[in-house]
Structure 1
Amino acid sequence: MQHLHSVLSEAQTRLIANPSPDIIDWLAKELGASYDQASSTGQLSEFRESCQAHPLSEVFLLDPYSRRAYDKPRGYAGDAVMLDYIYRPNLGELDGLASVVHRATTSLPNAKSILWRRDYLAGLIHDYMGSRECAEVLSVASGHMRELDALRETTTDTNVRFSVLDQDETSIAEAKGEYSEFAIEGRVASFAALIKERRPTASYDLIYSAGLFDYLPKAPAVTLIKAMFARLKSGGMLSVGNFTRDSHGRGFMAGFMDWCLIYRDEDDMRALAEAACPKASYKIFRDQPRNVVYLEIYAD
């Protein structure tokens, strides 16, 4: 951990001398390498403890985005309110180092991947709206559904019906209230509700889960993909994404935000697809910022 301490001390010195998001970008890259080493040697606990014991931790937790991840008011990091700091930034309420850190955490490559995901999902929805009289869409762990912000910018059409599943009732209420021009039917439940339904009661053109798979071990991930695929109409598609093992912010997230994900690469996503839907065709690709790998599976 000696190299880690040197990196943290250098970052502190540079931030005090000339506060800049570029310093935090540099630190995130250095922490990624330290995180990988700690992970390979079974020292992740020591890595997190070293980061959180350093004086930089107090500085970074002035950032409301990082603070919410660390505090987990809804029981987990990455909740819908937290992601809105990226989707709907408001930088005017902060100053000093807090502003510098916040601008960095909500605009560096991992944040760009979250914005890319919003636009990608909006594009999928729009494509099915263009090929169906009324597209049927299911969002699993739906959050605030900010992909509909991007959809609004693409079209004024509303020929789509959403079924949304989320364990957080307030997130569903936010989506229904904010996007009242769309038909949104909400269900307060975890993803396990889909797995427990032995006979699906509805089918969909598009099923997606934006960030849930970052938290799912392989067995429930495979089971959930099976349940999602069973609900696809002919010609339908499911899409899931996962942050990658080499994603830009992995070390900063684990070290200072206490935000730990289950990372996957292309081979991992291929293993999920072949275990869940061995006869189905699928596609695997990375987003443009190169931090998230996507799996699309198609129903004949």
Structure 2
Amino acid sequence: MDQLQAILSHAHAQFTADPSTEVIDRLAQELGTTFDHAAMTGELEAFQALCRAHPLSDLLMLDPYSRRAVDKPRGYAGDAVMLDYIYRPSRSSLDGLASIVHSATTSLPNAKSILWRRDYIATMIYNCMRKKECPEVMSVASGHMRELDALRDMTADTNVTITALDQDPESIREAKQTYHEFNILARPKSVTSLLRKTGGSERFDLIYSAGLFDYLSNALATSLIKAMYAQLKPGGFLSVGNFTCDSHGRGFMAGFMDWRLIYRNEEQMRALADAACPKASQRIFRDQPGNVVYLELFAE
């Protein structure tokens, strides 16, 4: 942990002398290697304890985005309200060091991947709308559905029905109120409800899950992929994303934000797909910022 201590102390001295977003960005990049070593050697608890006890942590917690991750008012980091700091930035209420840290954390490459994800999902929905008169879409762990912000920019059409499945009814309520012109069907349930569905007639042209798989074990992820794929219409497709093992902010998130994900690379996503739907046509690719791997499965 000597290397970690040196990285933290150097960043603290730099930020104290000359506060800038560049210091935070370099810190996030440097923490990746020490995080990987801690994970490999079973020292993640010590890694996080050292980060959280360092004076640098007090400065970083001036940022409401990072603070919400630590506080977990809805029981987990990365909730829909927290992600809105990235999707819908508003820094007018912040000044000084808080503004600098917040600007840095919400513009790191990982945050850019979240914005890329919004636009990617919006494009998928838009393409469905172009192909069918009124496609049926399901968002699993839907959150606030900020992809509809991007969809609004693409088209004024609203010829789509979207089933929003999320365990948080507040998130679904926010989506329905904000995007009232869309036909959003509320399903305030856990994602495990999909596993209990037997013999239902409901089918979809597109099913997607943006950030859920970062929290799922291999067994649950496999079962959920199989269950979602079974609900596709002929010609429909499924898309799920997962932050990668070498994603930019993984050490910063775990060390300071108490935000731990289950990371997967392309081969690991392929293994999930092969276990869940061995005969399905698949596509696996990485997003443009390079931090998220996507799995798409296509129904015949």
Give the aligned partner of residue 136 of structure 2.
136
CA contact (8 A) 1:141 1:166 kept: yes
CA distance in 2, matches of 1:42, 1:52: 18
1:199: how far off?
1.7
Give the Cα–Cα distance (whole angstroms) in 2 for the partners of residues 234 and 200 of structure 1: 15
Structure 1 partner of 2:237: 237
Aligned AA (1:30): E
Alignment of 1:81-230 (within 5 A): 81-230=81-230
Deviation at 1:95, TM superposition (A): 1.1
Deviation at 1:92, TM superposition (A): 1.3
**Separation (CA, whole Å) in 2 of partners of 1:185 and 1:110:** 30
1:96 CA drift (Å): 1.3
Structure 2 distance, partners of 1:283, 1:111, is 24
Pairwise CA distance, 1:67: 0.4
Alpha-carbon distance in structure 2 between the residues aligned to 1:246 and 1:67: 24
The more displaced of 97-106 and 194-203 is 194-203
TM-score normalised over the length of structure 1: 0.99
1:40, CA displacement in angstroms?
0.9
Structure 2 residue matching 1:84: 3-state secondary structure: helix
- Cα distance in 2, alignment partners of residues 284 and 188 from structure 1: 30
Aligned twin of 1:20: 20
For the 8 Å contact 1:200–1:230, the answer to whether it is kept is no
Structure 2: distance between partners of 1:110 and 1:104? 11
Deviation at 1:266, TM superposition (A): 0.1
**1:129-178 Cα distance to aligned partner (Å, 9 max, x none):** 00001010000000000000000000001110001100000000000000
- Partner-residue secondary structure (3-state), 2:97: helix
1:200: Cα distance to partner? Answer: 2.6
Query: Over residues 189-224 of structure 1, what are the superposed CA-to-partner deviations in whole Å (9 max), with x where a residue is unaligned?
Result: 110001011123300000000000000000000000
Query: Contact 1:21/1:103 (CA < 8 Å) preserved in 2?
Result: yes
Percent identical pairs in the alignment equals: 65
Give the total of aligned pairs: 300
Unaligned runs of 5+ in 2: none
What CA deviation, in whole Å up to 9, does each residue of 1:236-273 have, x standing for no partner?
Answer: 00000000000000000000000000000000000010
- Which secondary structure does the structure 1 equivalent of 2:206 belong to? strand
What SS class does the counterpart of residue 129 from structure 1 fall into?
Answer: helix
| Runs of 5+ unmatched residues, structure 1 | none
Given that 1:135 and 1:205 are in contact with CA atoms closer than 8 Å, whether structure 2 keeps it comes out as yes
Hey, which bits of structure 1, 4+ residues long, moved more than 4 A? none
**Take 2:299 and 2:117, find their aligned partners in 1: how far apart are those partners?**
22
Classify the secondary structure of the residue corresponding to 1:184.
Answer: strand
Instruction: Give TM-score scaled by structure 2 length.
Output: 0.99
The answer to whether 1:250 aligns with 2:250 is yes
Q: Match of 1:255, SS? A: helix
**For residue 36 of structure 1, what is the aligned residue in structure 2?**
36
The separation in 1 between residues aligned to 2:107 and 2:136, in whole angstroms, is: 33
SS in 2 for 1:164: strand
Cα deviation digits, residues 57-104 of structure 1 (max 9, x gap): 111111000000000000000000000000000011111111111001
Spell out, residue by residue over 1:11-60, the C-alpha distance to the aligned partner (whole angstroms, 9 max, x if none): 00000111111000100011111101111111111000000010111111
